[in-house]
Chain A
């Protein structure tokens, strides 16, 4: 049940996308997200869709797996769409009592849904093709210029590595605790909201206790191995930009330009 969460899960592979430098991927993901919010026409979304499809095809990750990442946000998307649909003022298309659907609301809702979908797609392709370690390495390198003004880039990266590393561990732990309490007759499915919240106590307390214990153990283990921060630390795998990163930037910039251009070529029938 808990293991079905795709968001933030690495899918090992050797594709073009997998081999890209993590810095390239992170920055491209940021550009991608920025572009999503600049789109003002359906044509733009069409170009974005073509670009996303190209990346998914290149990454050789089963489409089914990428789509699974959408499942956890479905509820959120549905609510957002509903609110936008019903609460936007404008030209009224349909009305029933106090409920109304406007032309503007309809387009707004469709835009929101598309934006959220593409946001999840973009970020899940980043995390699916980049191992957590490469990801934090990339972040550390990207942030390292900020060290000069006192930003602890290495410590940030280390904290992120540790946090990411413990996500599966804690999920597994939660699964185990839920099973143990279920075996003792705990009921998480019935009752009103207050009862259900109360039913979480037997899970949360053991989870917190074990998380603190693990943090303690990890700190001891790191000290035992003489860990003392980022000063003069060398690494096993140095990040290197290659021809692939050049190709990637070229394609990303061309697509971004195309998408932004599409804003000026609005197809009248579709808005």
Chain B
């Protein structure tokens, strides 16, 4: 369980460029859930997840993960760090080793795992993001952009974190690649029962993957609810400069025209079922 109490973060506090990135966020996230995080650029999403990952210390407020308060005296920083895996935006800049294998094993090696366990983890992480075995011995700098991204993500997955945080992991990838990575992550979430926080600007991805969604605006958490509830609030989301999935928009338009389609539809399958129901009733 992740519990945030009145968490705020101010950049350059006291200086002439002081600005609050996150203000008074209080929320409790349950373990094992797939949580989405959205908000327009500069709404404080990245700052918030960096605080949850323990990389930056909140200016005020406290963060508790599984009963341990981050940055408190009796909190084992390194142990907490290995529990949380953070894939930052455009993570390919973190690559530095001679071979892909060595780079992916950087995290597990830091954890002090035995050699054969490291090997197992590197191979399974590489497999998870769809990297071929023969790439493992190549230099990460010879790879294409998409492959570099996969290596960077694998580097975090190989640590097998209990809490996985992904900051726009698929930005700039081709459509096939992004779907593959996202669905592999969903598989992993189901199989291992880990908690996942996914930051994304793609409403479709959030609709397809998440169980709950947090919405941020100007550093504040303005909504936190089940995905189906969030996508019922088309107007509120649009006021925040966000959108709903296209399929939700279509259903909303249909409802405006007088078809009895329920609100909060966000997957293709439910939309199909509901529209078929309406059509059947029309025929009668």
Is B93's CB under 8 angstroms from A183's CB? Answer: no
A3 with B106: CB separation less than 8 A: no
CB pair A205–B96 under 8 Å, yes or no, is: yes
Q: Which of B66-114 contact A (CB under 8 A)?
A: 78, 81-82, 84-86, 88, 91, 93-96, 106-107, 110-111
With A185-B107, A185-B159 as known contacts, state yes or no: A209 contacts B55, CB within 8 Å: no
A176: chain B residues within 8 A (beta carbon)? 88, 93
Check A209/B141 contact, CB under 8 A, given A3-B12, A184-B155: yes
Complex alpha-carbon distance, A59 and B12, angstroms: 21
Hey, what's the 0/1 contact readout for B48-61 against A, CB within 8 Å counting as 1? 00100101100000
User: What interface size band does chain A fall in?
Assistant: 20 to 34
**Bound: A184/B154 CA distance, A:** 11
Asked if B16 is at the interface (CB within 8 A of a chain A CB), the reply is: yes
A169-209 CB contact bits vs B (8 Å, 1 = yes)?
A: 00001001101111111110000000000000110011001
Quick one: closest B residue to A13, CB to CB? B16
A12 part of interface (Cβ distance < 8 Å): yes
Interface string of B186-210 (1 = CB under 8 A from A): 0000000000000000000000000
Chain A residues contacting B94 (CB-CB under 8 Å) are 177, 180-181, 184, 202, 206
A183 contacts B16, C-beta separation under 8 Å: no
Query: Are B106 and A183 neighbours in the complex by a CB distance under 8 Å?
Result: no
* B156: interface (CB < 8 Å): yes
Indicate whether B258 reaches chain A with its CB closer than 8 angstroms: no
- Assess whether B81 is in contact with A182, with CB atoms less than 8 Å apart: yes
Are B110 and A206 closer than 8 Å at their CB atoms? no
Tier of interface size on chain B: 20 to 34
Mostly, the A contact residues are helix
Q: Verify if B175 is at the interface (C-beta below 8 Å from A).
A: no
Residues of A within 8 A of B156 (CB): 183-184
| Cβ–Cβ contact A206 & B93, under 8 A | yes
In Å, the complex CA distance between A185 and B14 comes to 31
Q: Which residues of A contact B16 (CB under 8 A)?
A: 11-12, 65
Give B12's nearest chain A residue, CB to CB: A3
A180-B111 contact, Cβ under 8 Å, with A65-B15, A201-B96: no
Q: Which listed residue (B95, B111, B141) contacts A185, Cβ 8 A? A: B111
A179 touches B50 (CB 8 A): yes
In the docked arrangement, what's the CA distance between A14 and B41, Å? 31
**Please, how many angstroms separate the alpha-carbon atoms of A65 and B50 in the complex?**
28
Q: Among A12, A177, A180, A186, find the residue whose CB has the most chain B CB atoms closer than 10 A.
A: A180
A183-B88, A186-B106, A206-B93 known, 10 other contacts, Cβ within 8 Å: A3-B11, A3-B12, A177-B93, A177-B94, A180-B91, A180-B94, A183-B86, A184-B159, A205-B96, A206-B94
Minimum-distance CB pairs A-B, first 10: A185-B110, A205-B96, A180-B94, A184-B107, A183-B86, A179-B55, A202-B96, A206-B93, A180-B88, A206-B96
Chain B residues near A (Cβ < 8 Å): 11-12, 14-16, 50, 53, 55-56, 78, 81-82, 84-86, 88, 91, 93-96, 106-107, 110-111, 141, 155-156, 159
